[in-house]
Chain A
Amino acid sequence: MQQTSKNAIASPRAMGAEHVAETLQGLERFLAQLAPRYPSKQALVLPALHFVQERLRCVPIAAVEAIALHLGLHPAQVHDTMSFYGFFRTEKDPLGKHRLWVCRSLVCMLRGADAVLQTLCDHLGIAPGETTADGTITLETAECLGACEGAPCILVNDEHRLAVTCEQVATIVEELTRTAG
C-alpha cells in the first residue's frame, strides 16, 4: 500500500516555472508546424491541449492563455473545448507520470472489471480519479476502450493491456513504478 493524499501534486519538478516556459515555447513551434494542415486556427486547439498535457501532465491556465493567443481565440473558447472533454486536467489536479484507465463498460463488467478496479484501488490506496502521493500513477475509470475481445481490459497511457486479472495488478503497478523515474 502506498502513501497517498487526494490532491497530491503529481510531479513538482514537472510543473516548475522553467518547464512551463519551455513547454510554451515548444508549443509555439509545434503550432506553426501544424498550421498548414488546417484551414482554421481553431482546429489546432485539441492538438495544442494534447501537446501541453503530455508534457506538463495538466493544462495550466497560462497554457490556455498561450494557446488562445497563438490561435487568435478568446481563452474562454479554449477552455470551453478543454472542459468538454473529461480528458484534460487543470493545474489543481495534475496527472501522475502514468495514467491508468480501467474500462467499466458492459463487456468488461461482464468479465470482472469491477473486481480489477477494486483491486487496483486497494493496492494503490486511491479512488478513481486520484493520483498516488508519489505522483506515479493516476487511476481512472474509462468507457469502452475498444478491446472487448480482451475484457476486462485496461489502458496504460495509450496502450491496451488485455484480459487483465486481479492477480496481475501488483505486477503492473510495480512495472509502472519502476518506469516512472
Chain B
Amino acid sequence: MSYEPVLLKHVGCPDSQTLDYYCRHGGYRGLRNALEMSPSEVVEMVKASGLRGRGGAGFPTGLKWSFLPKDHPGPIYMCVNADESEPGTFNNRILMENDPHQVLEGIIISCYATRATTAYIYIRYEYGRCYRVLEKAISECYAAGYLGKNILGKSGFDLDVYLHRGAGAYICGEETGLIESLEGKRAWPRIKPPFPAVEGAFRKPTVVNNIETLACVTHILARGVDWFKSLGVPPDPKNPRDLGSYGPKLYCVSGHVERPGCYELPLGITAKQLIEEYAGGVWKARRAKAVIPGGLSMGFLSASELDTPLDFNGPVKAGCLGLGTAAVIVIDDETSMIDVLYNSCRFFAHESCGQCTPCREGTAWSVKILERIRRGKGTRDDLDILLEIANGIGIIPGTTICGLADGAAWPIKTALTKFREEFEDAVRKGVKSKLGQQSFSVATRSEIL
C-alpha cells in the first residue's frame, strides 16, 4: 500500500520541534482556516469528518464537543490527555517529541471550536523529553501570538495552555480520573453522568481529548473533510450503528517483530499486513502465536485471526474489546501465554485505583491465581475462577465505575478461550511456565505487586 504519512511527516527531521520549521512547512494553516469560520462551523466540520477519538474509546470527537452546554457563561476547559500509559502505546510520545506544534495547533483549533479559554495538557511524568519540548513550543506560541489574548488578531479569542505533570498512574488516562488528578486529588474516576462536557474540571464544562485526536483536527482544518474521509473505512451499510473508521492512524507495533515502531496508515489495514509489510515480520523467523490489536487491555487475536482489519469494528468482531489505541503487540510461538497473562494481570492489579471492590479484589485474585499456575501449582478450578472473575468485573457487567476492569478482564477471557489447551495442559501437567522456571530471584518474586 502506498501512503504518504501526514501526522508523522516531519518526525526525525532536524529542527522539526521549532515554530520556524513548522511554519515553513505550512504549519498553522489549519488554525487560520478555522479563524475564518465561526466556532460552531468548526465543530460541524469535525463532525462531518467522522473523526473518532484516538485514545481508546473511539467516540466521535465532534459529537463530544457538541455536548457542551450552549451559551455557557464559562469558563470552559480543555484537558489534553497526554497520560499515554496503555502497554504497547507510544504514538503520542512520538508526536509530542518530534512535532509539538502540530499538537498545539490542534489544541488551539479545538479550544476555538469549543470556546475553551484554558487548556491543561496532562502529561505523564515519565515523558520528560516531551514535557521540555512542549514547554519550549508553548513559549514560542505566546511570543508569536498563537497563544494569549486576541490570537492572530482575532478579537476576543483568548487562550492559555498549561502543562500539568502526572505522577505515574495508569488510571489518570481515564478522563474523569485525569480531571480528579488535575484538581489535586487521588485519581478516582467519577460516576457518570454528569459527563465532563456538562461538569468536568473545577465543576465547569470540560472537553477531554487525546493528543493524536487533536493532531488529526489540525489536518482536517488544513486539508479538509474530503481528504480525511478519503482515508479509512466507510460505515458498514448493513450496520446502521456503524460510524465508520475514517482518517489516518498511528499504529504502534512492538514485541516480537523485526522492526518495532510507529507506522502511520489509513485505518483498516489488517494485523497481518502491518506485521509483515511494515514491521518486518515476526522476529527470528518465528511465527506469531498471539497478537494484541490495540494495547494490552483489548485482549488477544489468535494466529488464525490476523486478517482482522484494524479499524473500529474489526477487533470487536474477533472477540477483542475494541481497537483501543491501535498498539499492536506481537507474541511469538515460543512464548508461554501463561507468562503473558500473568504479566497482564499483574499490570492491572498494580494499576487498579482501588475505588471499586470488584476491580480492586478481582484483579488481585487473578494475579495470585496466575502466579500459582506459572509455578506449576494451578488446578482446573483455577481456570474457572479466572473466567468467573473476568466475567464479573467492569462496566460491561455493571460492577465498576470505569473501564479499567474491562481492560483487565479481556486479556483473561480471550486468553482462556483462544488458548484454552495451553492453560489446561499447564494445570494438568503441573509444569512451570517458561519465565516461571527462570531463577530471576528479584525480578520474578511474587510480592512485587
Contact = CB atoms under 8 A, between A and B. Distances in A.
Contacts of B444: 114
Contacts of A80: 185-186
Given A106-B329, A110-B335, A149-B252, A50 B165 contact: yes
A45 interface: yes
Contact of B331 (A42, A101, A110, A148): A110
Contacts of A101: 126
Interface stretch (B336-344, B358-366, B393-401): B336-344
Interface string A74-88: 000000110011111
A155 interface: yes
Contacts of B322: none
B280 interface: no
B313 to A, nearest CB: 25
B87 A107 contact: yes
Contact of B90 (A104, A106, A109, A146): A146
B88 A148 contact: yes
Given A110-B335, A143-B85, A144-B86, A43 B183 contact: yes
Contact of B185 (A42, A44, A106, A149): A42
B84 interface: yes
Interface residues of A, number: 52
Contact of B339 (A39, A86, A109, A159): A109
B85 A118 contact: no
Contacts of A111: 255-256
Given A117-B440, A148-B254, A143 B89 contact: no
A35 B292 CA distance: 43
B269 interface: no
A101 B125 CA distance: 12
B184 A121 contact: no
B166 interface: yes
Nearest to B91: A146
A141 B448 contact: yes
Interface stretch (B103-111, B127-135, B370-378): B127-135
B69 interface: no
A37 B160 contact: yes
A115 B126 contact: no
B327 interface: yes
A151 B255 CA distance: 8
Interface string B241-276: 000000000001111100011100000000000000
Interface stretch (B149-157, B167-175, B421-429): B167-175
B187 interface: yes
Given A110-B255, A114-B443, A143 B448 contact: no
B124 to A, nearest CB: 7
A59 to B, nearest CB: 11
Contacts of A158: 125-129, 131
A85 B167 contact: yes
B17 interface: no
Interface in A7-59: 37-40, 42-47, 49-50
B133 to A, nearest CB: 12
A105 interface: yes
Contact of A151 (B75, B260, B448): B260
Given A117-B442, A117-B443, A128 B89 contact: no
B329 A107 contact: yes
Contact of B87 (A114, A141, A144): A144
A74 B262 CA distance: 45
A69 interface: no
A37 B339 CA distance: 46
Contacts of A128: 442, 448
Given A80-B185, A149-B253, 10 more contacts: A42-B183, A118-B440, A121-B443, A128-B442, A143-B351, A146-B126, A149-B262, A158-B128, A158-B129, A159-B129
Interface of B: 75, 84-90, 92-93, 118, 124-129, 131, 160, 162, 164-170, 181-187, 202, 204, 252-256, 260-262, 292, 296, 327, 329, 331, 335, 339-340, 343-344, 347, 350-351, 353, 435, 438, 440-444, 448
16 contacts: A37-B160, A45-B184, A45-B185, A46-B166, A49-B167, A84-B187, A84-B353, A111-B255, A114-B435, A141-B448, A143-B170, A143-B351, A144-B85, A144-B347, A146-B90, A149-B254
The 4 closest A-B pairs by CB, nearest first: A158-B128, A45-B184, A84-B186, A148-B254
Interface of A: 37-40, 42-47, 49-50, 71, 80-81, 84-88, 101, 104-107, 109-111, 113-115, 117-118, 121, 127-128, 141-151, 155, 157-160
